[in-house]
Amino acid sequence: MMLAELRAYDRFKVLAIHTGRETGRRLADMGFTKDSEGRVMRCGFLRGPMHVCVGGYHLLLRHSEAAAVEVEVLEFAPHGHGLGRGGRRGLRRGFGHGALSGKPGLCHGCETDAAAACQDSDAIRTEPSAT
Amino acid sequence: MKNSYLIALAGNPNCGKTTIFNAITGAHHKVGNYPGVTVEKREGQRRYKGYDLRIVDLPGTYSLTAYSPDEMAARDFLLTEKPDAVIDVMDSSNIERHLYLCMQFRELGVPVIGALNMADEAEAAGVLIDAAQLSNLMGMPFVRTVGSKGRGVENLLDATVDLLEKLQRDGPEASAAAALSHRMHYGPELEDKLHELCTLLQQDSAFVAAFPVRWLAIKLLEKDQDAYKRLKGHKDEALIVPKAIAAAQWLEKHFGRDAEIVVSEQRYAFVHGAVRETVSKKPLLVQTVTENIDKVLMNRFLGLPIFIGVMWLVFRLTFALGEAPVGWLESLFGWLGGVAGRVIPEGFFQALVVDGIIGGIGGVFSFVPLIIILFFLLSILEDTGYMARVAFITDKFLHLFGLHGQSFLPMILGFGCSVPAIMATRTLRSTRDRIVTSMIIPFMSCGAKLPVYVLLAGAFFPQNPSLAVMTIYGVGVALAFLSALLFKSTLLRGEPTPFVMELPPYRAPTWSGLFWHVGEKTLTYVKKAGTVILAASVLIWALTTFPVLPEASVPAGLPEAEVSRLALEHSIAGSLGRVIEPLVRPLGFDWRIGIAVITGFAAKEVVVSTLGVMYAAGSAEDSIALTAAMQADPLFSPLVAFSLMLFILIIPPCFAALATLKAELGWKWLGVSVGYMLTVGWLLTFAVYSLGRLAGWGI
Ligand SMILES: Nc1nc2c(ncn2[C@@H]2O[C@H](COP(=O)(O)OP(=O)(O)OP(=O)(O)O)[C@@H](O)[C@H]2O)c(=O)[nH]1
Ligand SMILES: [Mg+2]
């Protein structure tokens, strides 16, 4: 899966960067390296830039750059954000990061976890319980 | 025995290099909580334990492969000036990526001292670094520092001097051997290729003296364009280039990834090991303050409205807090003018002092409080880290105009002064972005235009002057975006450039930082008022006074105001004015305004002082009297005042800003920019004035 497909609070592990040259190396220099773990903190309005925390560094990047980063999803953010999990995944392709799908920021459990994941990227945390 | 050394401060952006530089040298260079504050190298001196240390503060970089001009400045300094030592400043709360850069400094063959800066933040976050163990592993000294409090800076200098003394004692061979024993191993495949390339590179002894061979070999494998360029000086270039390309290709086949990614992975693997052995993190489950604030300020729906609200608040506060002190200064200068009028006997000297000097600079000086408050508020935004968030919030919007979030930082700095704002575009990687951003920065009304707006708005929009001023600011921002779109779809077309940026944590602004930054800006402004603006005022006074109207030609019994008008028209300025009047007449201006606008190229505040001198013909020695004089002038109307504000907004900025544009972009783009601003400024003002007259607005 590519980083650009993830949504707020999803946790991931970097597998590979599929663009060489400038962007790829810049991403690598700034902390996107194989096996580093991170979390999507938020996505901007209307597919605006993504704020991700990777290896403890907070980075902003556009979806077009994130589309070059192959990741393994460690944990999808729990459902309960308005739309059910199935619905959310279903909407993903059609609506992208539209305002319709999901409301990150309302679930208290994953807020704390998002911050913690960035404090300590090595620690694997337990699944926050879905409300 | 060598006793003067060149020492560079280098490292990732925003890790506190300038803070440490200031602490070492006692300088007060600008510090801010976002990546890319320092864009050019700065030098300072420090005498320590009998050594003369020349300290150089470099712009931050993420690696030694440079993309943007500020990064190139850092890399070129390290490569060509060959400092005696590098102090690598790191953010201790997360040193992994900092060590990754540190490895690259080491490969340059320069002695490196690690400053584990921000030790206070690391401690608060529960990060413990075993500095002694890290020193052993890396084979270089590490010192804990807290730059913002000046803690550990002496230790850092001690470590630096110790290292330099040791190198001096041991001689180059022993040092090289020590460096070799701690050199990073890239794994058998890469080392094989490196060895091959190094052997070839070593054939040219002149080349070996100029460049660190192993570093260059690694860069060649990373397909670094700049490294290939540097190879041009090598006698076997024709042999090495194909070898290097073949090696990189072989690696890509072998690893199935781009060669530069492979190299960076190897480096990270090494660094990761070092971190695992020396850094322990207490698992903290508390949510960070930063994340809590970001929940609100970077909220996908609230972010933009909050940002607009913040900017609105900045300007509201500037006017609200500035009103009273501006009033005091106005009265002070009014009083001074009165005293001077009484003390100095009537004659040319009195006129020079009262009308020329006090009338000219008094108006400008009165606005000092506004400038102080505006800079203070903008500095707070920079120091807390909110500015970097603005890039996230505005990126989507700016994308519509072909810009990106990172271009917005320099644009906001433009509200302060265009000169540093244009320089700040050096952090942008693409030349196209840099040109477009620099060219639209003058539309962000700078602090010097503020007095002009305030004067005109105060006189002609008395019900709500700050609304009028903010409207002009808004028009400027809109013009900036539209111009960006225009340039991006005509002269500077191209692919959108990648946007990757680091987000700093929120930090409390330091009082000393705020004080020095605001103090410096204020001083610059006051100095400008005391030099350029003073000189301009005296010159304008002379131009508007001489040649003196012969008494005989004045019919007796004419009212005094009429006499002074005739005298003004008779002067040199009056004759010059008649030449330019046809140009500005269609905009609703007369020749006096035309002259004022032209003098504005020296500095925009001069517009105020020129108007002051011109209207002083009656008795306007301060801005209150100037306001009254302008209100009494039948030529002026709210529409003309607005047109004038608009014209001042759009036409080319002061010479200092133009010189910066020339230095950053060259003559060609300076020409394009000036031509564009003159054309758009004239046409738009003409349109507004004509429409306004037709519709009967504010006549
Ligand atoms: N808490 C804490 N903050 C620090 C420390 N050192 C610097 N800072 C803050 O970190 C921010 C960045 O400092 P700068 O000195 O501008 O960093 P820089 O490395 O010069 O940044 P660039 O010029 O952008 O590369 C500022 O807000 C400083 O006040 C420290 O030791 N502790
Ligand atoms: Mg700096």
Q: What pLDDT is attached to residue B105? A: 92
Residue B62, chain A, CB below 8 Å: the answer is yes
Cβ neighbours of A111 in B, within 8 Å? 287, 291, 295
Tell me how close the Cα of A128 comes to any Cα of chain B, in angstroms.
13
Tell me how close the Cα of A77 comes to any Cα of chain B, in angstroms.
16
| Centre of ligand 2 from the C-alpha of residue B276, in Å | 29
Per residue in B190-199, pLDDT tens? 898 899 899 8
Tell me how close the Cα of B265 comes to any Cα of chain A, in angstroms.
6
Ligand nearest to the CA of B33: 1
State which ligand 1 atom lies nearest to the alpha carbon of B14: 21
Using pLDDT thresholds of 50, 70 and 90, give the confidence band for residue B616: low
Per residue in B71-117, pLDDT tens? 999 999 998 899 999 999 999 998 999 999 999 999 888 999 999 99
Using pLDDT thresholds of 50, 70 and 90, give the confidence band for residue A111: very low
CA proximity to B470, closest of B648, B318, B650, B677: B318
B537 contacts: CB under 8 Å, gap ≥ 6:
B356, B357, B359, B360, B361, B606, B609, B610, B612, B613
* Tokens 């980063």 found at: A69
Using pLDDT thresholds of 50, 70 and 90, give the confidence band for residue B622: low
Partner A, chain B 371-410, Cβ-Cβ below 8 Å: 391-393, 395-396, 404-405
CA angle in degrees (0–180, nearest 5) for B568-B363-B650: 85
Residue of A nearest to B223 (CA): A21
Inter-chain touch B65–A116, beta carbons under 8 Å: no
B35 in ligand 1 pocket by Cβ < 6 Å? yes
Using CB atoms, pick whichever of B93, B268, B300 lies closest to residue A44.
B300
Which residue type is seen at B65? T
Per residue in B470-515, pLDDT tens? 899 999 999 999 999 999 888 888 777 788 899 999 999 988 888 9
Q: What CATH class is the domain B4-181?
A: alpha beta
Per residue in B553-596, pLDDT tens? 777 776 666 777 777 788 888 888 888 889 999 999 988 888 88
Using pLDDT thresholds of 50, 70 and 90, give the confidence band for residue B623: low
Q: What pLDDT is attached to residue A114? A: 42
Fold of B188-281: Helix Hairpins (1.10.287)
For residues B443-465, average pLDDT = 90
Per residue in B371-415, pLDDT tens? 889 889 988 998 999 989 999 999 988 888 888 888 888 999 899
| Centre of ligand 1 from the C-alpha of residue B91, in Å | 9
Q: What pLDDT is attached to residue B367? A: 81
Using pLDDT thresholds of 50, 70 and 90, give the confidence band for residue A113: very low
Whether A79 shows a pLDDT value over 70: the answer reads no
Cβ neighbours of B295 in A, within 8 Å? 105, 111
β-strands B4-11, B51-57 pairing: parallel
Using CB atoms, pick whichever of A31, A49, A51 lies closest to residue B97.
A31
Omega of the bond leading into B369 within 30 degrees of 0 (cis): no
| Centre of ligand 2 from the C-alpha of residue A80, in Å | 44
3-class DSSP state for residue B330? helix
Residue B429, chain A, CB below 8 Å: the answer is yes
Beta bridge partners of B144: B116
The C-alpha atoms of residue A26 and residue A29 are separated, in whole angstroms, by 5
Domain A3-123 CATH assignment equals 2.30.30.90: yes
Q: What pLDDT is attached to residue B89? A: 96
* Tokens 């560094």 found at: A57
B148 in ligand 1 pocket by Cβ < 6 Å? yes
Inter-chain touch B395–A64, beta carbons under 8 Å: no
Count CB neighbours of A45 within 10 A. 20
- Predicted TM-score (pTM) of this structure: 0.85
**Mean pLDDT over the full length of chain B:** 87
Q: What pLDDT is attached to residue B73? A: 92
Per residue in B124-144, pLDDT tens? 888 899 999 999 988 899 999
State which ligand 1 atom lies nearest to the alpha carbon of B11: 19
Residue of A nearest to B396 (CA): A48
The residue among B621 and B376 whose pLDDT is bigger is B376
| Centre of ligand 1 from the C-alpha of residue B183, in Å | 29
State which ligand 1 atom lies nearest to the alpha carbon of B60: 25
In degrees and rounded to multiples of 5, residue B491 shows phi and psi of -70, -35
Q: Residue ranges per domain, chain B?
A: 4-181, 188-281, 287-384
Q: Are B460 and B638 in contact (CB under 8 A)?
A: yes
Q: What pLDDT is attached to residue B157? A: 95
b/e burial code for range B31-41 (CB count within 10 A of at least 16 → b): bbbbbbbbbeb
Q: At what angle do helices B591-599 and B638-650 cross, to 10 degrees?
A: 30
| Cα dihedral sign, B546-B548-B553-B557 | positive
The C-alpha atoms of residue B627 and residue B633 are separated, in whole angstroms, by 10
Inter-chain touch B502–A41, beta carbons under 8 Å: no
Top residue of A45, A101, A103 to mutate, by most chain B CBs within 10 Å, is A45
CA angle in degrees (0–180, nearest 5) for B257-B260-B262: 50
CA proximity to A34, closest of A55, A61, A57: A55
Structure token pair of residue A85: 């999990």
The C-alpha atoms of residue B364 and residue B352 are separated, in whole angstroms, by 17
Q: Are B540 and B609 in contact (CB under 8 A)?
A: yes
Which DSSP state fits B693? H
Cβ neighbours of A30 in B, within 8 Å? 62, 97, 500, 502
| Centre of ligand 2 from the C-alpha of residue B66, in Å | 17
3-class DSSP state for residue A40? strand
Using CB atoms, pick whichever of B94, B396, B500 lies closest to residue A30.
B500
3-state secondary structure B3-55: CEEEEEEEECCCCCHHHHHHHHHCCCCCCCCCCCCCCCCEEEEEEECCEEEEE
Structure token pair of residue B278: 């020396």
The residue among B56 and B340 whose pLDDT is bigger is B56
For residues A18-44, average pLDDT = 85
Which DSSP state fits B325? H
Inter-chain touch A60–B392, beta carbons under 8 Å: yes
State which ligand 1 atom lies nearest to the alpha carbon of B57: 20
3-class DSSP state for residue A127? coil
